[in-house]
Structure 1
Amino acid sequence: MGRRRVSYFYDRDVGAYTYGYGHLMKPHRIQMTHELVVAYDLLDKMTVMRPPRATAEQMTAFHSDEYINFLSRVQPDTPSITNPQLVQFLGFPDDNPPFDGVFEYHTISSGGSLAAAEAITSGASDIAINWAGGLHHAKKSEASGFCFINDINLCILELLRFHTRVLYVDIDCHHGDGVEEAFLNTDRVMTCSFHKSGNFFPGTGTTNDTGKGKGRGYSVNVPLHDGLSDESFKHIFEPVCAKILEVFRPSVVVLQCGADSLSGDRLGCFNLSMQGHANCVQYFRDSHIPLILLGGGGYTIKNVARTWSYETACAVGMEETMGQELPWHDHFECYGPRFRLEVAKSNAEDENLIDGYLEWTRRITLERLSKLPHAPSVGMHEVPSQSVAEHIGFVFPEEDDKDDVDRRFYGTSIPWFFS
C-alpha cells in the first residue's frame, strides 16, 4: 500500500475552552490527542496546518442567520428569564451551556472541517483529519447533544460543490441525527450510522428510517445493542460498507470517529477496543477513496486521546510501528496506572448475539441496499473561478461605510470562504 498524503488540522487554542465544571464534554481531549501525536513523531508524516477559523457567513451555509447571530452574542451569565432565546436555541441548557467563548470554539471546529474539505477537493490530500470536528447533533437552529455548530454539514456542503456523491459514516455510540436530517431528501449524500439502539439519546435512527422523497434508501441506520464487541462490529460494519461502496460509489467519504463507542466510556455502552474502533479507519483508508476523519463524542478522555492518535497513525500507515509503552509527554500522568497505548475490552456480554439480532440487522440492511437501483448522478457545472461573492453579485461595503454589525460579521476583508 502506497503512503497516503495526509493533512492534519489543529488549532492550539482548542484546548483552552471549557463547557463548565462537571460537564462531560471536554475540549481538552483534542489537545491531549495532539500531544500524543507529537510524542509518537507522527507530525512529520503529514502536512500540518492551523486552519482558518470559520466565519459567521460560512456557518449560515447550513445554520439560520438568527441562530448564528444568537451564538455570537450569548454570554454565560445571560438569564433565561430576560432572554427566551436561550431555551429556543439551546434546547437543554444543561447539555448545551452558553459557556465563555462558545462561538469562538465552534469557529475552530468548523474551520478545521471546512479546511479538510478544501484539502480534499483541491487534490492536495488523500486523507484530511480534524479531530476537533464531528459535532453531529447540531440542528439548523438549535444546539443538541453538546453540539452547537454542525461542522459535518458545513464540510459536506462544501464537498458537494465538487463531488457528485458523498458518503457519511458515523461510528459514534449516538445516532448521527443532525447529519441525517440535513440530507434526508437527497440521493447525493448517503448517511450511514452505527449506533446504540432503543431508549438512548437522541432516540432516533431505527432500521426503518431510510430517508424521504428522492433520498429514500440513502439513509442507512444500524442500531446495535449493549456490549458490542470488536468481532460483532466488524461482522456488520465491513459488509454494509462494502455494499454501500458498490451501489453508491461515493467520490469522497466523511468518517465521524466518535470515541464514545469505546469500552469504558462514561456515556457509551459498547465494548470496542482501540483496534476494533480503528478498523473502520483502516477499512476506508485501504479503499483508496478520498477520506476525511472527524472527531465526535468521547467522554473518557484518556481513551479518546489514545484512540484518535492511533487512528492518526493508521491514516499515515504507521500504526504497526507505534510502541505500546506511551512516550513521555506533558499529560503522561493521565494514562496511569498502565501507561500503555490500549483501550482494553471488558467482560460485558454482547447483547447483539442474543436471538440472532446481529444477523437479522445485517441481513435486512444488506437487502435494502441491494434494492437501490444505481448510483445517482448529477449534472456538475464548472465551479466559477471568481469568488462566490463576486459570482452572485454580493458586494462588501467599503470600510468607511461599514456599521458595527458589518465590522463584526465581515471584518476588513473578504472571508477566505469567498476567495
Structure 2
Amino acid sequence: MAASGEGASLPSPASGEDAHRRRVSYFYEPSIGDYYYGQGHPMKPHRIRMAHSLVVHYGLHRLLELSRPYPASEADIRRFHSDDYVAFLASATGNPGVLDPRAVKRFNVGEDCPVFDGLFPFCQASAGGSIGAAVKLNREDADITVNWAGGLHHAKKSEASGFCYVNDIVLAILELLKFHRRVLYIDIDVHHGDGVEEAFFTTNRVMTVSFHKYGDFFPGTGHISDVGSAEGRHYALNVPLSDGIDDATYRDLFQCIIKKVMEVYQPDVVVLQCGADSLAGDRLGCFNLSVKGHADCLRFLRSYNVPMMVLGGGGYTIRNVARCWCYETAVAVGIEPDNKLPYNDYYEYFGPDYSLHIQPKSVENLNTTKEVENIK
C-alpha cells in the first residue's frame, strides 16, 4: 500500500527511550469504514478509515507490518459470548421487520445498539483483528500490535451495551492467556471498561485498570471500592474522575498508578484500550486531554518494553479520533510526526488548521489536588 505522492516524507525518529524501534503489527480491514450504525448515531466506523488514511499519508505504514484480519468465526466469538446471543447476532439483518421483539429486549439491541446492515461482519472484523493481534504476540512475531477497530469494552456475555456487541478485548485476552500467565488491561476511554472488568472480576490472571468519568455517567459502574472478588480481589482497579481533567493531572495520576501496578503485578503482556472520547471537545466525553496527553499513556507503557496490544474504543468527534489514533500509531513505532497534516482522503475534515494536534478547551478541571492525591 503506497503513500500518495503528496504525503509527508518519513518523520524523524523520536529521541531517547522512544527511539528504540519496536516490531509493530497493525491490523486493518479496508471495508470497516463502510459500516453505518444509522442516521444521527454517534458511533461512526468511518473514523477508523480516516485514521488509516492519515497513517498511510504520513508514510507510517512503511514502518509497520500491515495485516488484514481474518473474520472471527462464530466459534471464536462463543469463547466468551453465549451461544444464543451469537446465533442472534449472526442471523440479525438491518430489516427491523424480521426481528423478534423478545430477542431485541433480551439482547439489549435497539437505540444505542441498533441492528444495522452488516452488523455481524462488522463484529467479525473488529474481533478478528484483536484475536489476530493476540496471536501475533503469542507467537512473539511483534512487540506491539494495533487494532483501532477493537476496544469495544461494554459488550457483555449475553447482551450488547454502549454501542458494543462483541467484546473483542475479552476474546483477545482469552487468547493471550493461552501463552501468558498474567495480563494487564488498562482502559483510558472516558467510560468505565465494565464489560472487561466483569469478565475477569474473579481471576488474578487478568488485572483490569480503568480511568474514567464517574458519577451520573454511562455505564454508572467503576467505583473506587470495586476491586474484584474471590481470587480476583484487588485485581480490579478503578480510578473515578471528574469533568475537565487536563494533561498534567491525568499524566501524573496515570504514571503514579501504573508504575506501582507494573512493579507489583509484573504482567507478561499489556492490553491498552485507547478510547479517544477522553479527548478535549469530544461529542460525548467531558475530559480535556490533548492528543499528546492521551498518547503519553501509550508512550509511558511502551517504555517498559513489555509486549503490548493497543486497541481503539470510544471517540465521537471523529476528526480528533483520527488525529489521536494516527499519532498513537506513530508513538508505537517511535516516530514524531509533523504537526502539519499531509494531504489525505479526508483533508477537508481537519480544517481550518489542518494540524495533527488539538488545543485543550478553556474549561475548569473539577479534579482537585486533594481528590487526586486521595486516589493515589
Instruction: Please indicate, yes or no, whether the TM-score normalized by the shorter chain is above 0.5.
Output: yes
Match of 1:62 in 2: 80
- Corresponding residue to 1:74 among 86, 92, 110: 92
Q: Tell me which moved more, 72-81 or 102-111.
A: 72-81
1:344 pairs with 2:359: yes
Amino acid of the structure 1 residue aligned with 2:331: C
Q: Deviations for 1:166-209, whole angstroms, at most 9, x for unmatched residues?
A: 00000000000000000000000000000001110000000000
Match of 1:323 in 2: 338
Q: Deviations for 1:44-63, whole angstroms, at most 9, x for unmatched residues?
A: 10111101110000000000
Kept after mapping to 2: 8 A contact 1:80/1:86: no
* Structure 1 residue 76: Cα displacement: 2.2
1:193 pairs with 2:207: no
- Corresponding residue to 2:68 among 45, 50, 54: 50
CA separation in 2, counterparts of 1:216 and 1:72? 35
Q: 1:81 to 1:330 in 2, by over 3 A?
A: closer
- Corresponding residue to 2:290 among 260, 267, 273: 273
TM-score norm. by structure 2 comes to 0.94
Amino acid of the structure 2 residue aligned with 1:202: P
Kept after mapping to 2: 8 A contact 1:80/1:87: no
CA separation in 1, counterparts of 2:100 and 2:315? 34
TM-score norm. by structure 1 comes to 0.84
Q: How does 1:359-378 map to 2 (within 5 A)?
A: 359-362=373-376
1:85 pairs with 2:100: no
1:211 pairs with 2:225: no
CA separation in 2, counterparts of 1:249 and 1:207? 22
Amino acid of the structure 1 residue aligned with 2:168: D
Match of 2:14 in 1: none
Amino acid of the structure 2 residue aligned with 1:349: E
Identical residues among aligned pairs (%) = 53
Match of 1:255 in 2: 272
| Secondary structure, counterpart of 2:47 in structure 1 | helix
Match of 2:48 in 1: 30
Amino acid of the structure 1 residue aligned with 2:257: V
Match of 1:15 in 2: 33
* Structure 1 residue 330: Cα displacement: 1.0
Match of 1:152 in 2: 169
Match of 1:229 in 2: 246
Match of 1:120 in 2: 137
Q: 1:326 to 1:81 in 2, by over 3 A?
A: closer
Structure 1, unmatched stretches of 5+, are 363-419
Kept after mapping to 2: 8 A contact 1:90/1:97: no
CA separation in 2, counterparts of 1:28 and 1:49? 19
Kept after mapping to 2: 8 A contact 1:262/1:343: no
Tell me: higher relative CO, structure 1 or 2? Use CA pairs within 8 A at least 6 residues apart. Answer: 2
* Structure 1 residue 77: Cα displacement: 2.2
Kept after mapping to 2: 8 A contact 1:56/1:68: yes
| Secondary structure, counterpart of 2:220 in structure 1 | coil
CA separation in 2, counterparts of 1:302 and 1:25? 13
* Structure 1 residue 252: Cα displacement: 0.1
CA separation in 2, counterparts of 1:229 and 1:83? 44
- Corresponding residue to 2:201 among 177, 180, 184: 184
CA separation in 1, counterparts of 2:278 and 2:290? 9
| Secondary structure, counterpart of 1:244 in structure 2 | helix
Aligned length: 358
| Secondary structure, counterpart of 2:368 in structure 1 | helix
Structure 2, unmatched stretches of 5+, are 1-16
CA separation in 2, counterparts of 1:229 and 1:348? 9
CA separation in 2, counterparts of 1:195 and 1:308? 19
* Structure 1 residue 79: Cα displacement: 4.0
| Secondary structure, counterpart of 2:245 in structure 1 | coil
| Secondary structure, counterpart of 1:352 in structure 2 | coil
| Secondary structure, counterpart of 2:107 in structure 1 | helix
* Structure 1 residue 323: Cα displacement: 1.2
Q: 1:239 to 1:10 in 2, by over 3 A?
A: same
1:358 pairs with 2:376: no
Match of 1:377 in 2: none
Q: Detail structure 1 runs of 4+ shifted over 3 Å in the superposition.
A: 79-83
Amino acid of the structure 2 residue aligned with 1:16: D
Match of 2:124 in 1: 107
CA separation in 1, counterparts of 2:56 and 2:250? 30
* Structure 1 residue 81: Cα displacement: 7.9
